[in-house]
Amino acid sequence: MNLTIIGSGYVGLTTGTCFAEMGHHVICVDNNTEKIRTLQSGAIPIYEPKLEELVKKNVAVGRLEFSPSIAASIAESEVIFIAVPTPPNTDGSVDLTYIEKVAREIAQALQPEMGYKVIVDKSTVPVKTGEKVSQTIKHYAGPNVQFDIVSNPEFLREGCAVDDLLHPDRIVIGANSEQAMNVIKRVYQPIHAPILETDVNSAELIKHAANSFLALKISYINAVAKVCEKTGADVELVAEGIGMDKRISRHFLNAGLGYGGSCFPKDVKAFINISRTLGIPFTLLEEVEHINDTQHIHFLDRIRDRLWVLKDKKIAVWGLAFKQNTDDVRESIALKLCEKLCGEGAIVTATDPKAMHTAAPILNPMGVKLVEDMYECARDAEVLVIATEWSEYANADLQKLAGVMRNRIIFDGRNILSPANLRAVGFEYHSVGRPSVEEA
Ligand code: UDX
C-alpha cells in the first residue's frame, strides 16, 4: 500500500520505517527541511537500536522516501498517518496546534479526484480529538472530498521501538466506518498480533489510560519501596511476590528514581487535565504524579543524610538518558538530580553511553563536567550515583571502580547492582527500597 506519515520525529520515523519493512511504500514527511535533508542523505537524527539499518535497507529498495511536501505525498497515498508532537501546555492540557495545522494542510491538499483517503491519528491526543480533526478537514477542504478519520495509537517504547512495532502486544484501531477499519487492517496484515477494533473515542482513550496505568504501577512500587526502606524489607522480593500474581504481573514494578521521558509525565498530566475538564477529577493520578515528582527528592535527601553537606563534594553520576538504550533526555530524572546536586554546590561529573550530546546543552551551563569514560567519571568521587539503568553500569567492573573512587559509596537509583557483589568488594551501597550494605 502507499502510505504517508506526516511528522518524522520519533514515532513517525520509526513507524514509517517499520511499515516500509512490512512491504508498504512509505513517504515520511516533515516541515523541517533540514531534517528531511539529513534523512535523505542516509543519516538518522535519533539513536534507536536497529533503526538506522532498517532505514538504509528500505531506502535502498525504494520503499522508503522522505519529503518536505504534504500535498505531493498524500496525492499518491491511500492512508495518511499524523504523527506530529502533542506537547503539554503549562496547565497540563495538550497543545494541539500541530495537529490542527496538519489537518488544515491535509484539507487544502485533498482533491475529489484523489478518491477515498483514510487519515489516521498516531499522535497521543485527548479523547474526541478525531472529531475535531474531521470537522477541521471538512471545514477547510473543497466539496466532494472523501475521507474517514481513524485513531490508531502507538505503544512503542524508546530503545526497543523497532521490535515493539514489528511484534506488538496488540494493535488498536478506532474507526467509525467499516471501510476505514478494513483499510487499516490491510496496513497491519503482515503483522501477527491481536487487533482490537473500537470506535475512535475509545481508541484515543486507550492510549491515555494505558500509559497512566503503567505510570501508576511505577509510582505504586516506589511508594511501597519507601515502606520497605523504613522496615528493612526488600522491594525486589516484594515486587516479585506481587508480580507472580498474573492479575498484577511483574512488569513495570521496578522501583527506582521514577519515570521520565516524553510520554508518561506528559500523558499522566494530560489525563488528569482531561478528567478535570470533564468534571470528574482523577485524583488517583494526581497522587501518581506527586509520588513521581518527589521520588528523586527523597533519594537526594538520603545522599545528603550520608554526606551531611553536599557543597564542594565530588559526586559522579552514571546515566543521563531517561532510560537505557536511548539518547533521549526529555524529562530525564537524572538531569533533575544533577540540577539539584549542582544547586547545593556539589562538584558533579556525569557520563552516559549515548546521551552526552543531548544532555550537554542542559548540563554545561550548570557546570556539570561530562566525561566519556564511566570509570574516569567516577575518579576521586565521594559518591557515585546511578541514575539510568544501562547494562554497562549493571555489569561494571567493581574492582576497577573501587580503585578510582575516593570513597567506596554508591547510591543506585535504579537497583541494577547486586548488594552481595558490592559487599564482597567492600562498597557501601544504598539503593531504592532495599536494605543498605554498610561500610565494611
Ligand atoms: C512509554 C510506554 O511504555 C509506551 O508504551 C508508550 O508508547 C510511550 O511511553 P517509553 O517512554 O519509551 O514508553 O519508556 P518506558 O520503557 O515505558 O519507561 C518510561 C520510564 O519509566 C523510564 O524513565 C523508566 O526508567 C521508568 N520505569 C519503567 C521505571 O521506573 N520502572 C519500571 O518498572 C519501568
Residue 38 is labelled as binding a ligand: no
Give catalytic residues, as residue numbers: 263
- Prediction ipTM score: 0.97
Candidate CATH numbers 1.20.1580.10, 3.40.50.720, 3.30.450.40, 3.30.70.660; the one for domain 2-198: 3.40.50.720
Q: The cell 536511548 sits on which residue?
A: 326
In 169-248, which residue ranges form alpha helices assigned H by DSSP?
178-187, 200-231, 235-243
Report the atom number in ligand 1 closest to the C-alpha of 260.
23
Strand partners, 82: 6, 121
Report helix, strand or coil for 197: strand
Domain boundaries, the chain: 2-198, 221-440
Closest to 255 measured CA to CA, from 292, 200, 293, 300: 292
Q: Are strands 147-151 and 171-175 parallel, antiparallel or unpaired?
A: antiparallel
pLDDT digits (tens, 9 = 90+) for 115-166: 999 999 999 999 999 999 999 999 999 999 999 999 999 999 999 999 999 9
Query: What number is the average pLDDT over the span 14-21?
Result: 98
Buried b (16+ CB within 10 A) or exposed e, 135-170: ebbeeebeeebebbbbbbbbbbebbbbbebbbebee
Report the atom number in ligand 1 closest to the C-alpha of 262.
11
Same fold, 2-198 and 221-440: yes
Q: Which of 18, 249, 264 to mutate to test the pocket of ligand 1 (most atoms within 8 A of CB)?
A: 264
> Which amino acids bring their CB within 6 angstroms of ligand 1?
154-158, 211, 214, 218, 252-254, 256, 259-261, 263-264, 322-323
pLDDT digits (tens, 9 = 90+) for 216-237: 999 999 999 999 999 999 999 9
Indicate if the pLDDT at residue 440 is higher than 90: no
Indicate if the pLDDT at residue 210 is higher than 90: yes
Q: What is the pTM of this model?
A: 0.95
pLDDT at residue 286, rounded to an integer: 98
Report the atom number in ligand 1 closest to the C-alpha of 217.
33
CATH topology of domain 221-440: Rossmann fold (3.40.50)
Q: What distance in angstroms lies between residue 415's CA and the mean position of ligand 1's atoms?
A: 16
Indicate if the pLDDT at residue 42 is higher than 90: no
pLDDT digits (tens, 9 = 90+) for 240-257: 999 999 999 999 999 999
Closest to 411 measured CA to CA, from 377, 382, 391: 382
Closest to 123 measured CA to CA, from 102, 107, 99, 103: 99
* Cell numbers at 412, concatenated: 543506585
Query: What number is the average pLDDT over the span 167-171?
Result: 97
Report helix, strand or coil for 79: strand
Indicate if the pLDDT at residue 17 is higher than 70: yes
Residue with CA closest to ligand 1 atom 26: 259
Indicate if the pLDDT at residue 439 is higher than 90: no
Q: The cell 536494605 sits on which residue?
A: 435
Contacts of 83 (CB under 8 A, 6+ apart): 5, 6, 7, 8, 9, 11, 12, 15, 16, 122, 123, 154
Mean of the per-residue pLDDT values of the chain: 96
Indicate if the pLDDT at residue 84 is higher than 90: yes
Distance CA 65, CA 79 (A): 15
